A and B are shown apart, each in its own frame.
Chain A
Amino acid sequence: MIVTRMGDGSFVSMSEEEVKADVREGVEDAVKRGKIEPLSADEINHLVDICCRPQKFVSVRHGNELILTYDSGTLKITRLGIPIGMPQIMQLYERAFAADTLELAYVHYSFKPIKMIVPEEQYAVAETSLVTTAPLFYGAMPNLPLYTQPDGPCPNAAELLPAGKIAEARAAQEEAVEYAVKDMVFVASGVYEAGSDGIDFDTTAAAGDAEFQATLLACEQLKARYPDMAIEIGMAGEFVLGFHGQLTYDGVRLAGLYPHQQVKLAEKAGASIFGAVVNTNSSRSFPWNLGRAVTFCKACVEAANIPVHANVGMGVGAVPLVMTPPIDCVSRASTAMAEVGKLDGL
């Protein structure tokens, strides 16, 4: 029997045939939802082989390595309760963790609160850029809900929609987009002027189509101002929620887009790297989630003209939805994304 896990992290034993059946079902689910091509029989067998290897930790063959980018980079150490400064954390990532890229991030990982402390963040970026060699991102979340009342200036669409005030809810989101674009451009400009190589918009579209539109507009403005700025647009989910429902970018309706469609708009906006996300279903097995995630990501890679980095972490990219992602699943998902999904990075 093969010991693997469910999407909630619990162990489950399956026969090889059951593993294969679950991988196939996951692939079929992605094909049906995304209207994309399925994996080939060889690719499905490769995923089954990765799932069924007896080792706890698996890895890619020599030559199949890819690039790793990070979200909320410095926070990963801060959350562990280790009280060291951001430049030192970046030095650890570079020299101890073998990170391909670095990402500096403030503990309130959203653009709205960061705009108040941009000078302090510029200081951290400038100091870090002197003592590190690897490329340096600054990262934060667009986080559109922070612009809604009572915490922000705009009426709360989540309260207006249940009251049947559709037009008002849409107007409130459109107003929030304007505030968010200004903050994203302001913060990103500040950290780039201080010496970062680029900006990472993390968990884009967590609040749906309005947040995706805001991020694409901010990306467009930043590339017009700083053509050499590297911009990574990392998504929050596989499917853009139509919380507004009518918003577009470059004539394309944003609600309902899947990764292979999202990446085309990221390209048009000028993004350098697109971060594809596929959510983990905690009620299904790891093989099911792996088949599904790799199918979506492979379609995105094939549609893209820019590098695609799949999100592989807590609750995304087939990794179980737990605070301590198990290395058996993380290493298998990483290997599958590199060798079957043909990702440019993770």
Chain B
Amino acid sequence: MHASGMGGIRTAGDLVARMQMSKKMRLKEAKEYVAGKLKVSVSDLADEVIMNEVRQDLDIATVYGGMGEQSRGIEAKFRIAKLLDLEINSVNRFLKKTGWYQEG
């Protein structure tokens, strides 16, 4: 996180990163896309307090991954794929390996 990082799953850094990686979005566009999907302002995306609540409400994992009933790991990525309208490789692999998804 340090001097300039967004903060990963502590905030919305992982979600903005996914838009850069999957759709080659530049930083501004990626932040606006994620903010729109989360129904928050762009300035909220790197705020730990707001984003912790938003992530709990959406059940898309927080840094307290071991506590309570919240989704974690691959469970949260299923929700993120749907939320951001993305294909996530590990999610698709999980579906194939569990027999829940068939190509074509």
Which A positions have Cβ atoms within 8 angstroms of B? 57-60, 62-69, 91, 93-101, 126, 129-136, 192-198, 228-230, 272-273, 305-307, 330-332, 334-335, 337-338, 343-346
What total count of A-B pairs have CB within 8 Å? 168
A100 touching B74, Cβ below 8 Å: no
Determine the chain A residues whose CB is within 8 A of the CB of B17 once the complex forms. 67, 69, 100-101, 134-135, 345
* Interface residue from A68, A192, A228, A305 paired with B5 (Cβ < 8 Å): A68
B4 touching A307, Cβ below 8 Å: no
Determine the chain B residues whose CB is within 8 A of the CB of A334 once the complex forms. 2-4
Determine the chain A residues whose CB is within 8 A of the CB of B72 once the complex forms. 131, 133
* Interface residue from B16, B27, B90 paired with A195 (Cβ < 8 Å): B90
Nearest B residue (CB) for A101: B17
A100 touching B73, Cβ below 8 Å: no
Instruction: Say whether, besides A97-B1, A100-B16, A331-B2, A228 and B10 are in contact (CB < 8 Å).
Output: no
A133 touching B61, Cβ below 8 Å: yes
**Contact digits for B34-77, partner A, Cβ 8 Å, 1 yes 0 no:** 00000000110110000000000000110111000000111011
A129 touching B74, Cβ below 8 Å: yes
* Interface residue from B3, B6, B16, B18 paired with A59 (Cβ < 8 Å): B3
**Contact digits for B10-46, partner A, Cβ 8 Å, 1 yes 0 no:** 1101101110111011110010000000000011011
Determine the chain A residues whose CB is within 8 A of the CB of B13 once the complex forms. 65, 67-68, 98-100, 134
Instruction: Say whether, besides A100-B13, A133-B60, A63 and B42 are in contact (CB < 8 Å).
Output: yes
Main secondary structure of the interface of A (DSSP, over half): loop
B88 an interface residue at 8 Å Cβ cutoff? Answer: yes
Instruction: Say whether, besides A63-B46, A129-B90, A228-B89, A98 and B21 are in contact (CB < 8 Å).
Output: no
- 9 further A-B contacts with Cβ under 8 Å, apart from A62-B43, A101-B8, are A60-B3, A67-B5, A68-B2, A94-B63, A98-B10, A130-B73, A135-B17, A196-B90, A331-B2
A101 touching B9, Cβ below 8 Å: no
A344 touching B20, Cβ below 8 Å: yes
Chain B nearest CB from A334 CB (Å) reads 4
Instruction: Say whether, besides A307-B25, A337-B4, A195 and B93 are in contact (CB < 8 Å).
Output: yes
Determine the chain A residues whose CB is within 8 A of the CB of B94 once the complex forms. 130, 195
Instruction: Say whether, besides A66-B27, A135-B14, A338 and B43 are in contact (CB < 8 Å).
Output: no
A95 touching B21, Cβ below 8 Å: no
Determine the chain A residues whose CB is within 8 A of the CB of B46 once the complex forms. 62-63, 65
* Interface residue from A57, A69, A91, A93 paired with B3 (Cβ < 8 Å): A57
Point out which of B18, B30, B87, B90 has the most chain A C-beta atoms below 10 A from its C-beta: B90
Chain A nearest CB from B70 CB (Å) reads 11
B21 touching A100, Cβ below 8 Å: no
Chain B nearest CB from A267 CB (Å) reads 9
A133 touching B76, Cβ below 8 Å: yes
Q: How far is the CA of A96 from the CA of B89 in the complex (A)?
A: 24
B4 touching A306, Cβ below 8 Å: no
Q: How far is the CA of A64 from the CA of B11 in the complex (A)?
A: 14
Chain B nearest CB from A325 CB (Å) reads 11
Nearest A residue (CB) for B55: A133
